[in-house]
Amino acid sequence: MSALLVALAVAAAPPPAPRMQPPGHIVVETRCEACHSPAGWTPVAFDHSKTGFPLEGRHVFASCRACHGSSTDFRAPVPTSCGACHPDVHTGEFGNRCASCHDPSSWATQFGPDAHRFTNFPLTGRHAAIPCEECHQNQRDKRFTRAAADCFACHQPDYLRTAGTSIDHARAGFGTDCKSCHFPTRFKGARFAGHDACFQLSGGPHAGISCFDCHTSLTSFIAPGTCMTNTADCMRCHACAHETQTHARVGGFQCTNRKCYECHTFTAGTGLRPPATTRVKR
């Protein structure tokens, strides 16, 4: 009976007065302390992470209206993509996921040589210490397109720079696939794998010497790997007096460059190897 009376009392009571909405807000609860503090209406402290868009980095300091505009309904959907607020200075090249490169704290780019590995051109060796604009030259649109991932696209001038030297790449018939001989750390000091077929450089007493140590004169056009350049200057290191003495019993010995590598190729299984005592100390 009492319960019925209570129910009747509730039913008979006039409807509660509508809760007054605070000016400047629409359809929001009036628990002011959820956002404001008695210290003043600003700054507003609202746990934005509950909205699905946590305020990270500099966003913490953004004013509410910088994103929500003049709307008084802070529950109305607001675009959350970066492009909704940040102008796209890259003319759309990278889409709307700015955070994959930019730091939300400073907008400074986080895209360094490590991240470049997630592209078609991993920055290895010296490439990791080159200013971006040396390759990505378009400053107007801040585009990062590049003509090609091919070595020669960038290093053609280096290829041409060998013209007139004793390792003139064009005359010697070297291809344009730079990485087949050169390391990305430094152009100087190449490793020509085909050289072992003529004269072993990958191991043995001549391992580690550079091209110019032997090839000091200009070559004519020769297909690489045919052992026909005839420009190796053995006598730069091997003194005739010493070699003549050590080859006293070798028939047909002559102290000329070509005669050395007619016998000494150091190629495994076929090339002659001089006694250790006759090797040149480097």
Partner 1 sequence: MSAAARIAGALLVAGLVAGAGARGEARPRVGSVLYATTTRLYLDVGSREGLAPGQAIRFQRAGSCRVEQVSETRATCLGSGRAGDTFALPEPPPPRPVTRLPTPASPAVLEQRRSVLASAAYPPVDYHETAGGGVEGRRGSIDAGIRHTTWWVSGGPGAWNQERADAGIRGASLGAGFTLDLDLSARRWSRRSDPITFRPDDPTQLYVWEASISHRNGDGGPAFSIGRVRPYRVPGQVILDGAQAGWRLEGGSEAGVFGGAVPNSVTLAPSFDHGTLGAYWIGQRVFETDSTLRFLRHEARIAFVNTDDLGKRLEGEALVEARITRRLDAAVNVRIGAGVAHGFSSLDTIRLDAVRVDATARPLDSLSLSGSFRHEGGSVPELDGPGHLLLGGEARHADLSAAWEAMESLRISVLSGLSTDLVTQKTRRWIGPEVALTHLLADRGVVSLGYIEEDGWAPGRSAWLQILARSQGVLQVLARLSWFQTSQIAPGNLDELGVSTSIQAQLGPHVAFRLSTMARTVLNGQTSLFSAATGQIFVADAELAGTF
Tell me which stretch binds partner 1 (CB under 8 A): 162-170, 173-181, 216-224, 252-260: 173-181
Phi, psi values for residue 183, rounded to 5°: -90, 150
The smaller minimum CB distance to partner 1, of residues 45 and 263, is found at 45
Determine the residue type at 146: R
| Closest distance to partner 1 from the beta carbon of 129 (Å) | 4
Residues 228-267 that bind partner 1 (CB under 8 A): none
Residues 42-81 that bind partner 1 (CB under 8 A): 45-48, 50, 52, 55, 58, 60, 63, 65-66, 68-70, 75-81
| Closest distance to partner 1 from the beta carbon of 267 (Å) | 18
Under the binding rule (CB under 8 A), the answer on residue 29 touching partner 1 is: no
Minimal CA–CA distance to 167: which of 151, 197, 183, 187?
Answer: 187
Residue among 26, 29, 30, 153 that touches partner 1 (CB under 8 A): 153
Using CB atoms within 10 Å of the CB of residue 178, give its burial: 0 to 12 exposed, 13 to 18 middle, 19+ buried. buried
| Closest distance to partner 1 from the beta carbon of 222 (Å) | 21
The smaller minimum CB distance to partner 1, of residues 8 and 239, is found at 8
Q: What are the structure tokens assigned to 282, written together? A: 């480097």
Q: Are 214 and 258 in contact (CB under 8 A)?
A: no
Tell me which stretch binds partner 1 (CB under 8 A): 22-30, 213-221, 223-231, 254-262: 22-30
Minimal CA–CA distance to 25: which of 77, 72, 75?
Answer: 72
Under the binding rule (CB under 8 A), the answer on residue 21 touching partner 1 is: no
Residue recorded with tokens 């959820």: 34
Residue among 133, 164, 221, 252 that touches partner 1 (CB under 8 A): 133
Cβ neighbours around 244 below 10 Å, total: 13
Q: Integer distance in angstroms from the first to the last C-alpha of the chain? A: 113
| Closest distance to partner 1 from the beta carbon of 261 (Å) | 20
Q: Is residue 215 helix, strand or coil?
A: strand
The smaller minimum CB distance to partner 1, of residues 96 and 245, is found at 96
Indicate the length of the chain as a whole number. Answer: 282
Residue among 14, 19, 134, 251 that touches partner 1 (CB under 8 A): 134
Residues 186-225 that bind partner 1 (CB under 8 A): 186, 188-191, 193, 207-208, 210
The smaller minimum CB distance to partner 1, of residues 33 and 269, is found at 33
Under the binding rule (CB under 8 A), the answer on residue 170 touching partner 1 is: no
Query: What are the CA-CA distances from residue 282 to residues 11, 200, 205, 207 (Å)?
Result: 107, 17, 9, 11
Q: Are 213 and 206 in contact (CB under 8 A)?
A: no
Query: What are the CA-CA distances from residue 191 to residues 208, 253, 267 (Å)?
Result: 9, 30, 16
Residues 80-99 that bind partner 1 (CB under 8 A): 80-81, 83-84, 87-89, 91-97
Tell me which stretch binds partner 1 (CB under 8 A): 41-49, 217-225, 249-257, 268-276: 41-49
